[in-house]
C-alpha cells in the first residue's frame, strides 16, 4: 500500500472473494485493535485479555464495515463484486493497523506515568492522511469513479467515520456539561 | 511458486510468533489469590475509586479491569464513567470468587464546574442538580461522595456541599504540575476545616494508560464489602498514596499502612516473561499485517 493507485489497479482486475472471505480482513483489524488496546493499556497480553478486547472493541470495526458496505454498494461502476471490493477496501487499513501496533510498541516499554496520550493522538495525523489517499485510489481504481466523484466519495466516507467517532467521544466524556462550564467561565 | 511458498512460510512464522506471545503472556500473567491484611480486626484494603471502563471513555471492559486490579494488588475498584453507569453496573454484577477484588458501582458526576465521584450507588445520579443535592442523592443511595481532581476549575462546591463531602482526591500524581498541586492542597485544607474527618483519597483516574491504582487509597474497613468500604470512607478511615509513595492521612494509620506496604510481596508475574510475551506478540502481529494484511499484496500463484 505504499503506491495505492498501482496496487489497486493491479488487484482490481480479477480479484475474487466470497462473503466469508471478505470478513477475514475486518477480523484481522479487530484482532490488531484488541491486541494494541491490551498492550497500550496494561502492558501485557494474554489470550483471554486479547479476546475480551477484540470482543469489546469490535464495535469500531463493525462501524467501519457498515460504512464501507454503504460506500461500496452505492457505486454503480465498480469493477469487482461487493465482497471482493470490501476485501480490497479493508486492505487499505494498513496505515491504521501499523499505527496501532507502533503506538502499542512505544507504550509497552515506557513507564506508565510518563506516557503522553495527546502526543500519541497527534501522530494519528499520518495514518489519517495516508488513509485518505488510499480511499481516493480505491474509488478511482476499484469503484471506477471519475476524479471529482472520487474526491466527493472519499470526503463522504471519511466524514461518516469521523462523525461517528466524534459523537461517541462526546457522549462518553459528557461533553455537554463541559461546554456549559467553559462558556460560563 | 517459490515466491508463494515463501509467502506462506512468512505467514506461518507470523502466526506462530503471535501464538507464542499469547501463550507466554497467559502463563506469566497468573497471579496467586491474595487476601488483604487485617489489623486489629480491620481489613486494610487497597482501593482505586476512580476508574473509567468500557463502554465509556476507558479502554478495558469491567472484567478486564478486575483482572488488572488483581495484577496491581488492588482489593477494591470503583468504575466511574462520566454521567453513565452501564459499565459500572456490569462490573458490580460480575460473579466474584474468593480473593477477587470488589467492584463498586460508581459514577463520575460530571457537572459544568465540578466532578464528583459517587461510589457504592444503585442508579445513575442526575448531574443537573446543585452539588449539595447531588451528595444528598448519593447518600440516599447508600454511597459515598468524593471530590474528583479538585483543581481550581473544579471548585464549584459551596460550603453546604463541602460539609457534606465524604472524601477528596488529595494525592495528585507526579504528572500534576506545581500550580495544580497547590490548588489540590488548598481545596483539601478547606474541606478539612469544614469537616475534619473527611477522607483523603488517592485515585488513578484510569482511562487508557495508567497503571491502575498507581495512586491509590488504603481503606481501613470493618468488612470487605460495599457497605464496609462506604462506611470507612464516610468515617474518614483512609490513607491516600500518590505514585511517589507519599501517604496522606491520620499519622497512626499512615504508619500501619507503611508497614503493610513494606511487607507486601510483589504480586506481579515474571516481568521478563511479560516483556518477551509483548515483544513476540507485537512482532508476530506486525508480520501478520505485512503478510496477510495489506502492506504488500500476495504474489500471484
Per-residue pLDDT 10s for chain B (301 aa) are 666 667 778 888 999 999 999 999 998 877 777 789 999 999 999 999 999 999 999 999 999 999 999 999 999 999 999 999 999 999 999 999 888 999 999 999 999 999 999 999 999 999 999 999 999 999 999 999 999 999 999 999 999 999 999 999 999 988 889 999 999 999 999 999 999 999 999 999 999 887 899 999 999 999 999 999 999 999 999 999 999 999 999 999 999 999 988 877 554 556 888 899 999 999 999 998 888 765 555 554 4
Q: Are A45 and B22 in contact (CB < 8 Å)?
A: yes
- Chain B interface, best mutation among A46, A52, A104, by max B CB count within 10 A: A46
Spell out a b/e string for B31-70, using b for 16 or more CB atoms within 10 Å of the CB, else e. Answer: eeebebbeeeebbbbbbbbbbbbbbbbbbbbbbbbbbbbb
Kindly state whether A10 is in contact with chain B, defined as any CB-CB distance less than 8 angstroms. Answer: yes
Closest listed residue to residue A64, CA positions, set A152, A168, A141: A168
Question: Model's pTM, two decimal places?
Answer: 0.92
Q: Which residues of B touch A40 (CB under 8 A)?
A: 59, 208-209
pLDDT of amino acid B2: 66
**What count of CB pairs under 8 Å joins A to B?**
156
Q: Are A40 and B209 in contact (CB < 8 Å)?
A: yes
Sign of CA dihedral B274, B276, B279, B280: negative
User: What own/partner pairs with CB < 8 Å and gap ≥ 24 does B2-5 have?
Assistant: B3/B299, B4/B298, B4/B299, B4/B301
Q: Are B54 and A57 in contact (CB < 8 Å)?
A: yes
Contact (CB, 8 A) for B36 and B232? no
How far off is chain A from B30, nearest CA to CA, in Å? 10
Kindly state whether A14 is in contact with chain B, defined as any CB-CB distance less than 8 angstroms. Answer: no
- Strand-strand pairing, B216-221 and B238-241: antiparallel
How far off is chain B from A181, nearest CA to CA, in Å? 4
- Chain A interface, best mutation among B24, B154, B278, B279, by max A CB count within 10 A: B278
* Residue whose entry in the numeric block shows the C-alpha cell 442538580: B129
Kindly state whether A94 is in contact with chain B, defined as any CB-CB distance less than 8 angstroms. Answer: yes
Q: Are A177 and B110 in contact (CB < 8 Å)?
A: yes
Q: Which residues of B touch A117 (CB under 8 A)?
A: 207-209
How far off is chain A from B112, nearest CA to CA, in Å? 4
Q: Which residues of A touch B28 (CB under 8 A)?
A: 44
> Cα(A99)–Cα(B285) distance, rounded to whole angstroms?
12
* Option in B61, B174, B281 nearest A113 (CB): B174
Task: Note the pLDDT tens digit of each residue in A76-122.
Answer: 888 899 999 999 999 999 999 999 999 999 888 876 655 567 778 88
> Cα(B127)–Cα(B256) distance, rounded to whole angstroms?
38
Interface predicted TM-score (ipTM) of this complex, two decimals: 0.91
Q: Which residues of A touch B285 (CB under 8 A)?
A: 31-32, 35, 101
Kindly state whether B84 is in contact with chain A, defined as any CB-CB distance less than 8 angstroms. Answer: yes
Q: Up-side HSE of residue B158: CA atoms within 13 Å toward CB?
A: 7
Q: Where are the alpha helices (DSSP H) in chain A?
A: 4-12, 19-22, 24-42, 47-73, 82-91, 94-108, 117-123, 125-141, 147-172, 175-184
Q: Please, is A164 exposed, middle or buried when counting C-beta atoms within 10 Å of its C-beta (0-12, 13-18, 19+)?
A: middle
> Residue A172: CB partners within 8 Å, gap ≥ 6?
B55, B56, B57, B81, B82, B84
- Residue B215 three-state SS: coil
Amino acid at each position: 500500500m505504499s503506491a495505492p493507485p498501482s496496487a489497486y489497479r493491479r488487484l482490481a482486475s480479477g480479484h475474487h472473494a466470497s462473503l466469508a472471505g471478505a470478513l477475514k480482513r475486518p477480523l484481522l483489524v479487530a484482532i490488531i485493535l484488541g491486541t494494541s488496546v491490551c498492550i497500550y493499556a496494561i502492558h501485557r497480553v494474554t489470550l483471554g485479555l486479547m479476546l475480551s478486547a477484540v470482543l469489546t472493541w469490535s464495535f469500531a470495526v463493525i462501524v467501519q464495515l457498515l460504512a464501507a458496505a454503504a460506500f461500496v454498494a452505492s457505486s454503480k461502476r465498480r469493477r469487482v463484486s461487493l465482497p471482493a471490493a470490501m476485501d480490497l477496501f479493508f486492505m487499505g487499513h494498513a496505515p491504521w493497523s501499523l499505527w496501532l501496533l507502533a503506538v502499542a510498541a512505544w507504550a509497552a516499554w515506557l513507564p506508565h506515568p510518563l506516557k503522553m496520550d495527546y502526543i500519541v493522538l497527534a501522530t494519528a495525523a499520518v495514518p489519517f492522511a495516508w488513509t485518505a489517499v488510499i480511499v481516493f485510489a480505491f474509488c478511482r481504481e476499484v469503484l471506477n469513479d471519475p476524479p471529482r466523484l472520487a474526491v466527493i466519495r472519499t470526503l463522504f466516507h471519511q466524514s461518516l467515520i469521523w462523525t461517528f467517532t466524534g459523537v461517541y467521544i462526546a457522549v462518553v466524556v459528557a461533553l455537554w456539561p463541559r461546554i456549559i462550564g467553559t462558556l460560563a467561565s | 511458486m517459490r515466491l508463494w511458498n515463501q509467502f506462506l512460510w512468512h505467514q506461518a512464522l507470523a502466526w506462530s510468533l503471535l501464538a507464542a506471545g499469547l501463550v507466554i503472556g497467559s502463563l506469566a500473567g497468573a497471579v496467586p489469590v491474595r487476601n488483604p491484611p487485617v489489623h486489629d480486626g480491620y481489613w486494610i484494603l487497597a482501593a482505586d475509586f476512580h476508574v473509567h471502563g468500557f463502554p465509556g471513555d476507558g479502554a478495558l471492559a469491567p472484567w478486564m479491569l478486575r483482572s488488572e486490579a488483581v495484577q496491581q494488588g488492588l482489593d477494591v475498584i470503583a468504575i466511574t464513567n462520566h454521567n453513565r453507569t452501564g459499565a459500572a453496573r456490569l462490573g458490580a454484577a460480575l460473579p466474584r470468587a474468593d480473593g477477587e477484588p470488589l467492584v463498586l458501582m460508581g459514577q463520575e458526576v460530571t457537572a459544568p464546574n465540578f466532578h464528583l465521584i459517587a461510589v457504592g450507588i444503585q442508579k445513575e445520579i442526575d448531574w443537573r442538580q446543585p452539588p449539595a443535592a447531588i451528595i444528598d442523592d448519593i447518600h440516599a443511595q447508600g454511597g459515598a461522595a468524593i471530590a474528583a481532581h479538585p483543581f481550581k476549575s473544579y471548585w464549584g462546591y459551596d460550603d453546604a456541599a463541602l460539609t457534606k463531602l465524604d472524601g477528596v482526591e488529595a494525592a495528585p500524581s507526579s504528572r500534576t504540575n506545581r500550580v495544580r498541586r497547590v490548588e489540590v492542597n488548598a481545596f483539601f485544607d478547606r474541606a478539612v476545616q469544614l469537616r475534619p474527618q473527611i477522607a483523603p483519597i488517592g485515585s488513578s483516574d484510569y482511562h487508557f494508560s495508567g497503571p491502575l491504582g498507581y495512586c491509590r487509597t488504603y481503606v481501613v474497613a470493618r468488612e470487605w464489602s460495599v457497605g464496609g468500604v462506604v462506611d470507612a470512607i464516610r468515617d474518614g478511615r483512609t490513607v491516600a498514596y500518590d505514585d511517589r509513595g507519599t501517604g496522606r492521612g491520620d499519622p497512626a494509620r499512615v504508619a500501619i499502612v507503611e508497614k503493610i506496604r513494606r511487607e507486601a510481596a510483589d504480586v506481579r508475574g515474571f516481568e521478563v516473561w511479560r516483556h518477551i510475551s509483548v515483544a513476540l506478540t507485537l512482532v508476530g502481529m506486525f508480520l501478520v499485517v505485512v503478510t496477510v494484511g495489506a502492506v504488500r499484496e500476495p504474489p500471484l500463484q
